[in-house]
Chain A
Amino acid sequence: MLLTPEDITAIWLSLKIALTATAIALPFGFITAWLIVFKTFRGKIVLEVLINLPLTLPPVVIGYFLLLLLGKNGWIGELLNKSGFPVIFTWKAAVIASATVGFPLLVRSIRLGMESIDLQLIEASRTLGASWPDSLLTIILPQSLRGIIAGSSLMFARSLGEFGATIIVAGNIPGRTQTIPLAIYDYASSPSSGKMALTLCIISVVISVAVLLLHEVLGKQLDRRSFL
């Protein structure tokens, strides 16, 4: 194998960051989608624009905003530093970058799932004695599972490929914050490391295919067990 110890760390780090970002974003994504689909409130359009903004902005711009926020003199950065929990230029910053960039994809998928739920199903549950949180957990959540799975896969895959925002807030420190795309970028910059870059590219493809397959399998399982 052509992998150096740093490469292996980069692979694990990529998986860890993508998984953590998806896991953290999931509950927020679910609640946000629910708010957008089922609730009417002032400023809903503002919320929608804000959520979708990372889709249209260059990731570098998002990274820069996050840097302003989380950096030494940023609002949150200062607070985090004081409490002895620095985030900037650590893998945690990469998680935040990935979560921000992938969030709109997650919300969009869950939202599509929720929009296909028949409102009368929810009304039926309410008249049968379910409070709204109960209805959210027992009707909306299971009925949105397909959207949740699709959104999580998309977001996980997007996080694996995250580059622009990550390099700005987490840097490109081999063994600490260097993920697969950052490592590939490094290799690609030096003329002698073409093979190393290619190896990591192949590993990227393998992971992506695995994610897509997992998505398909989970979807099929859901079809089969839909009534349990």
Chain B
Amino acid sequence: MNLHIDLEKKLGKFFIQVKTEVSGERIGIFGDSGSGKSTLVNFISGLLPPDKGEILLDGECLFSSQKGINISPEHRRIAIVFQRPMLFPHMSVQKNLLYGYQRCRAENKRIKPESLIDLLKLRPLLKRGIENLSGGEKQRISLGRAILSSPRLLLMDEPLTALDDTLRYQIIPYLRSVSEEFLIPYIFISHSLTEMQLMTESVLVINNGRLVEETTPEGLARNRMAKSQNGYLNLLPLTNPVDHNGLFAYRWGNNTLQVSDGQLNGNGLFELSSREIILFKKHPEAISARNLLPARVMEIFNSDGRVGIVLSINGEKLIAEIVRSAADELDIIPDTSIFAAIKASSFRRLA
């Protein structure tokens, strides 16, 4: 997918002006609330016309103030998953799901409702009304409804923000698998660094109506390490948990990690803040932290006065964060060997 945007609009006191060209299948738009992210979504989908400029999707002009082109939303084939599910209250789950499908031209229909309904595990809900469904179920239906309209681009406008933590990470695999399975590129809008890391491969950063940075989710997380409340968030997929003296011993590549907030059934995705990792130059004889891992320093980067240390632990990557003076004292340079200590309680289970 290739998207060319060059547009501006004045909305009261707010002025938005964005010019960029992005290519990729999983693009993120990152910014605080009120930065203009949703306005951009409305421009791309055709719900709000810019004052001037142009939008090209895969070479096709969707909007051009110069040429007088403004393709209406229903003809753009760009579906949106909103922050709230926005299901039609007077329709059953099935009717909601098929709303876009029935309006899609035969030559564009390429997704079979049956396979999607199974993928999203919606079959038991089909005949029900939309009241009394859980937030997660509603958002899955909203996603299914958007996908079934066979869009050529899917806009996800903070689709996880209204959900609680547990549900959020239950939905992410659906969001990813659906667009991968049916080859639908998406633009994912959020103000969460973790979501950006999980959902996107490149990121546009919007601030105060301007495009301020084009980066990768990794670059974004590193840049914001010092400012962000939890530093850099390492995302660790851990597998094969076993009980170990009241803790959970998970496999992490070739390593074993002891985690207090685990579950014996199945694998899990865990979050570990860069600030929860303590580095030792030499092997400490005895420490209370349950995880002491020999590591190799791969890379060192700066982020607003803080130092990020990229560690390789038996082939697995982890980013630790220390202050400048500590980095000097420990004399950490690339390729040195050090030890990383992590408390079992520092891992936060996402899913």
Contact = CB atoms under 8 A, between A and B. Distances in A.
Interface of A: 118, 120-121, 123-131, 134, 138-139, 142-143, 226-228
A105 B73 CA distance: 34
B149 interface: yes
Given A123-B47, A126-B73, A127-B78, A227 B130 contact: yes
A226 B129 contact: yes
Given A120-B84, A123-B80, A228 B74 contact: no
A127 B99 CA distance: 11
Interface in B213-267: none
Interface of B: 45-47, 72-74, 76-80, 82, 84, 86, 88-92, 99-100, 103-104, 128-131, 145-146, 149
Contacts of A142: 90
Given A127-B149, A134-B103, A228-B129, 7 more contacts: A123-B73, A126-B46, A127-B46, A127-B146, A131-B74, A139-B88, A227-B131
Is the contact region of chain B dominated by helix, strand, or loop, or is it mixed? loop
A131 B79 CA distance: 14
Contacts of B88: 121, 124-125, 138-139
A127 B84 contact: no
16 contacts: A124-B86, A125-B99, A126-B47, A127-B73, A127-B146, A128-B74, A128-B99, A128-B146, A129-B77, A129-B100, A130-B99, A134-B74, A138-B88, A227-B89, A227-B129, A227-B130
Contacts of B131: 226-227
A205 B146 CA distance: 52
B292 to A, nearest CB: 51
Ranked nearest first, the 7 interchain pairs of A and B with the lowest CB-CB distance are: A227-B129, A129-B103, A128-B100, A126-B73, A142-B90, A124-B86, A128-B149
A212 to B, nearest CB: 24
A131 B129 contact: no
Contacts, number: 77
Contacts of A123: 45, 47, 73, 80, 86
Contacts of B129: 226-228
A41 to B, nearest CB: 16
Contact of A121 (B46, B74, B86): B86
Contacts of B128: 227
A163 to B, nearest CB: 38
A143 B91 CA distance: 10
Contact of B149 (A121, A129, A139): A129
B86 A128 contact: no
A129 B78 CA distance: 9
Nearest to A222: B90
A219 B73 CA distance: 34
A127 B79 contact: yes
Contacts of B84: 120
B103 A128 contact: yes
Contacts of A128: 74, 79, 99-100, 103, 145-146, 149
A126 B74 contact: yes
A36 B287 CA distance: 71
Contacts of A130: 74, 99, 103
A139 to B, nearest CB: 6
Contacts of A226: 89-90, 129, 131
B86 A120 contact: yes
Q: Which of B74, B129, B145, B149 has the most CB of A within 10 A?
A: B74
Contacts of A125: 88, 99
Q: Which of A120, A124, A139 has the most CB of B within 10 A?
A: A124
A214 B97 CA distance: 34
Contacts of A127: 45-47, 73-74, 76, 78-80, 146, 149
A131 B86 CA distance: 18
A228 B92 contact: yes
Contacts of A121: 86, 88-89
A130 B99 CA distance: 9
Q: Which of A127, A134, A138 has the most CB of B within 10 A?
A: A127
Nearest to B77: A129
A132 to B, nearest CB: 8
Contacts of B90: 142-143, 226-228
B127 to A, nearest CB: 10
B74 A129 contact: yes
Given A129-B100, A227-B130, A124 B80 contact: yes
